[in-house]
Every structure is written in structure tokens, then in C-alpha cells.
Chain A
């Protein structure tokens, strides 16, 4: 897969390194029971009558993709097109049913900030809980703790239960924990920046700094202007396949034309 000139030169020093993400003919299949069987009793009864029918749902179909270090790739497409499934395959939440995924480096997902926060625990306790949930050992988290709190601007509130936080404070803490270490791959699913205008600027700056230092970024969003603003390349996903991929402007133009035409 060749990169457009502008990006290739920007990523020139690290072009010799293998891509951060490689997908080879990746397919993901979900099994959906036609009748939802929720109890063991029902299952046994159905089994006896030989009636457990399953439907196969292919959320991704033979997707090929390469993302280089330092590159930002936008993902656009309708709800249910397969954007989230693609991100989940890369962040190891799902395994590919077929095909091969290679991810070089640590993946930081910024899917839903503050997932796993416990409201009865203090901000401090939640920082450690969340950081270890994301796979960080405790030692380095302790070292970074003060800078995490400072970035989230929560110095005075860190020993209060998270229950008393506003949604903005929660989002700031979540973002700060999720980005406390520079990952090799950053996954942004609709979440790009949180909080008020000034904090959003801080978020964007941090993400740009990651990128400049070689983090590959995947941004799935319905906000086409922010995709245009941040992404080098864009992949348009439709019905589990990449129907168009290339330089951001061109793909976004074709995508929005198609969307307008469809509605």
C-alpha cells in the first residue's frame, strides 16, 4: 500500500520499520441465535427438540489494511458498517475469525472514557484501578501519578469519591489516565477531546504530540470535519469491507457525496 507523498515524507525516518498495524484478509463472524435462549432449561429443551438455530453475521469481510507509525487514519461509514469491529480486532477485544492481525506496540483505547471507574472509590484509587485495567504495572503509574492529576486539573479533588465529580471532571480524569503513557497505537472511537474548550485543546495537543513521536492513530468518527482536520488517510467502510481508502480529502468528498445521494 503506497502512501501519499506528503505523509510518506513526514514519516520518512521511520519508514524502514514494519507497519504499526497490519490486517490481512481479516473477517469477523458473530453467531446470533435466532431465538434468544437465556436459560439452561430452555437450552436443554431446545437441544432435545434439536432446534437451536444460529445465524452467522459477518461484521468484517476480508479486510486488508496497513497503518504506519506516525500516521493518522480516519474511519468513516454508517453505524453498523464495521468500524467498531475493526477497532476491536486491533485492540484485541475480538479475535479475527479468519485472517491475520499484526499489531506492533501497545494499543491504548480511548473508547469510552472512565469505563471501569467505581463511584464509591476516590479519584486516586480509580487512577490506579483504571491504569492497571489498561495493563500498566503499578510502579510506573505511581511515578506518573502527580502528572496525571495535574493534567486532569483535579489536584484538590483527587481524594474525594468519584461520585462527587462532575461529568467533565470524570472525562478529564479518564482521558488523563488513558493517555498517561505514549502508546504505539491510539484508538479514538468518537472520543477525540473532552471537557471544556481549553481542556479539549490540551487533549488535541497531547494527541498531536504522540503522533509526532510516532504513534499511529485510528480515528472513527461521524464528524467529518474533524476527520478531515486530523487524518492523513481515510478508510470508508461499508457493510464490513473497505470500499474506499486513500488521501483524506478525496475519500471524504466521495463519502459525503454518497451520503447526500443516499438520503
Chain B
């Protein structure tokens, strides 16, 4: 460990100190991973900071995390319930998807902002910036856990059954978290280069929300178009969470396979994008 005081051993044992050799650096992809592991306490500390700041700043604190999704759901449920009145327990369906998409949009935007913001810090001290990205994912996972309470309340209110299938929900959210980390790193890399990326991405997120069957069921989409809808990664990730919550069943094995492939693909691509281009944006002055 870098910070443990080096034992005053014999001078012939310099192996006790970390040696940095610029000629023997691993590939950036691997180097960033190793550094992230070395800075794992920063990840925890940074998530703690994010949570502290969030809950210190607003008077309602944790309560806000409970109320916010409920209010959003209430508004959408009132607006769309009449349209989708053929759907049994519509608010449960709506909230399950909404919470997941909310996780994606907030965490990716936040990762992008933090990576751009931390550029000034990273110009002064050596720090693996992926740590901030992972820290934000952890932060939003905690938020999501808290937001699970209103979802449970709504489920029980509509006489939902608490089935064993619900135990697969955390796995679905973990896959979504990996997916969000990958997307966040890709957006962050672009945003570090260009100022208009954030706004563009925000608009795209809104479009993405409406292109995903969250407010409406996939069944209302004309069958000829459903194939295109299946190209949307969020459809599959939503299904993983919504199947146990709303349909009270574990999602189909194919959906799990697609979900795992999508999230691993996104996180690997995002990590590669970020570590590959990081060099370039560090050297622009």
C-alpha cells in the first residue's frame, strides 16, 4: 500500500516502495483497473461524500428520495391511467420501469459532469478518475435501494404478491448499473471534448425514455415495429426488473442472457473509450 509508512528495513530492500516506471506501464485499459483497485477507498469515500451532500443539502433529506419517484409516478399514472386502463395495476408497472430509467439517466449525467469537473483536480494530482464514475454508480444504487420502499408500498397497496421471483431484482439492477457505468463513461469522454454533448445527451435521454416501453406496454406497439424496439438495451434491462415486480415471475433465460451481454458489452466499451481517449484530453491545453 502506498501510504503505509515504509518500514525502516535494510536499504537493500527497495521492493517495499511502489516503483513507477513510465516505460513499463500496462495497457491503459488494465492500468486504470489496477489504479481503481488501489484507490478503492476513494470510491467508498466519494460515494459517502455524495450521499452526505445530498442528504445534508435538502431539508427533507432521505424523505425526498422516497417522495420524488412517488410524485412523478402519481402524475404519470393520473395522466396515462385512462389510456392504459386495460392494464391491471398500472402504477406498479410504471414505477418499476421508471425507477430503472431514472437510475440510468441520473447516473450517466452525473458521471459525465463529474469527469468533466474533475479535470482541474486531475491536472494537479494523480488520481484515477474512473473512481468518481464508480462512486456515483454506488451512490445511485443506495438511492435506488431507498426508492425501493415506495415501490414495495405501491405493490402491496395493489395487492401484489411478494414472490421469490423478487430476489432476482437486485441482479437486474446490478446489470443496469454496469450498463449505466459504460454509457456514462462514453458520454463523459465525449463531454470532456465538446461542450454541447451534455445538452444533446439530455435531449436524447428524453427520447430514449419514450422509446422504451415504460409508460406504455410493448403490446401496444404494432408488431411490425416491435423488432426495432427490441434493439433498445433498456427494454431488456427493464424486463429483467419488471417481470418479477409486475408479472411476478422470473424473466426468461434469453432476456437474462441478453441483459448480461448488453451490460458487459457496454461497460467494456465504455472503459475502453474512456481509457483510450483520456490521454488525448489530458494533453489539450
Contacts and interface: CB of A to CB of B under 8 A. Distances in A.
Contacts of A129: 45-46, 49
Contact of B44 (A13, A109, A138): A138
Interface string B176-208: 000000000000001001111100100000000
B61 to A, nearest CB: 14
Interface string A82-103: 0000001001111111011111
A115 B124 contact: yes
Contact of B5 (A41, A112, A132, A182): A182
Interface in A100-121: 100-107, 109, 111-112, 115-116, 118, 120-121
Contact of A103 (B19, B123, B190): B19
B195 A39 contact: yes
B41 interface: yes
B142 interface: no
A17 B11 contact: yes
Interface string A9-40: 00001101110000000000111110001111
Contacts of A104: 14, 17, 19-20
B149 interface: no
Nearest to B199: A39
Nearest to A20: B17
B17 A184 contact: yes
Contacts of B194: 37-40, 43
B65 to A, nearest CB: 18
B2 A30 contact: no
B196 A18 contact: no
B53 A121 contact: yes
Interface residues of A, number: 58
Contact of A132 (B18, B42, B193, B279): B42
A140 B1 CA distance: 10
B3 A39 contact: no
B106 to A, nearest CB: 20
Interface in A54-68: 57
A137 B1 contact: yes
Interface in B204-224: none
B68 interface: no
A181 B5 contact: yes
B18 A105 contact: yes
Nearest to B1: A137
A174 B15 CA distance: 30
A100 B23 contact: yes
B285 A133 contact: no
Contacts of B228: none
Contact of B42 (A94, A100, A133, A140): A133
A238 interface: no
B21 A102 contact: yes
Contacts of B82: none
B113 to A, nearest CB: 15
A128 interface: yes
A141 B283 CA distance: 33
Contact of A102 (B11, B22, B53): B22
B27 interface: no
A222 interface: no
A29 B285 CA distance: 10
Interface string A158-195: 00000000000000000000000110100000000000
A161 to B, nearest CB: 9
Interface string B20-44: 1111010000000000001101101
A262 to B, nearest CB: 25
Given A102-B19, A120-B56, A13 B195 contact: no
A31 B283 contact: yes
A40 B284 contact: no
A8 interface: no
A125 interface: yes
Contacts of B122: 93
Interface of A: 13-14, 16-18, 29-33, 37-41, 43, 57, 88, 91-97, 99-107, 109, 111-112, 115-116, 118, 120-121, 125, 128-129, 131-138, 140-141, 181-182, 184
Q: Which 5 A-B pairs have the closest CB atoms?
A: A136-B3, A92-B126, A39-B196, A40-B194, A132-B42
10 contacts: A33-B284, A38-B195, A101-B21, A102-B20, A128-B45, A129-B49, A131-B3, A132-B44, A136-B2, A184-B6
Given A99-B22, A107-B126, A125-B49, 11 more contacts: A38-B194, A40-B196, A43-B194, A91-B125, A101-B21, A105-B6, A120-B57, A132-B46, A138-B44, A140-B3, A181-B3
